[in-house]
Amino acid sequence: MAILRLTDGTIYHDRADIDRELAPLNIQLQDWPISNDPELLKILDQPQLSAEDHNVVLDHLDHYFEQLRASGYQMRDLIDLYANLVGLDAMLARFNRSHTHADDEVRYVVAGAGIFGFVRPDRSQIELTIQAAEQINVPAGTEHWFCLTPEQRFVALRYFRDTSGWHPNYLDTPILFRTALASK
């Protein structure tokens, strides 16, 4: 279940409240069920995934990619972030700075949780924690950042229209709060 935090300390759990707060940014948050297939659930319950596991997850959930292809999405991959991943801090340093993209950023969380922060049109900031079985579409040009929750586990399918993958345009906006990073 998604959780939205405002810089004034307000916290929303209700989807209608969250959707209302995300509407000015045109961010779409959807529930995408994860298959009840025992093989898939066993894989997603592991602390980290092998390359073979990545392929199994992608195959099991490919029906979502097929739906997105109708909207011009051409590529998908799987990102698996966990506490003792070699190079995790360097990878997170790329994500946890304010940035935009020329392409929509579409993520479908299948295990763990992550936090997306956003700069709203009035320049206020919000943080949205999303968890397994939630899909987010951050429109191109939306100023945002990403960080892990204190559990440091995030497995998500990433969908791209541009086959060159993830490319940030970094900005100098100071981030007013980082729930997960502040708790480390």
What is the structure's pLDDT at 164? 77
The whole-model pTM stands at 0.93
Amino acid identity of residue 153, one-letter, is R
Number of structural domains (the chain) is: 1
The answer to whether the Cα torsion of 55, 100, 147, 36 is positive or negative is negative
What is the structure's pLDDT at 182? 39
What is the structure's pLDDT at 48? 96
**pLDDT tens by residue, 128-147:** 999 999 999 999 999 999 99
| Count of CB atoms situated within 10 Å of the CB of 85 | 13
Instruction: Tell me the residue range of the domain where 151 lies.
Output: 3-182
| Average pLDDT value for the chain | 93
Q: What CATH number does the domain containing 135 carry?
A: 2.60.120.10
Q: List, in sequence order, every residue forming a beta bridge with 159; answer none if it has no partner.
A: 76, 106
| Count of CB atoms situated within 10 Å of the CB of 150 | 13
Q: What angle do CA 80, 86, 87 make, to 5 degrees?
A: 90
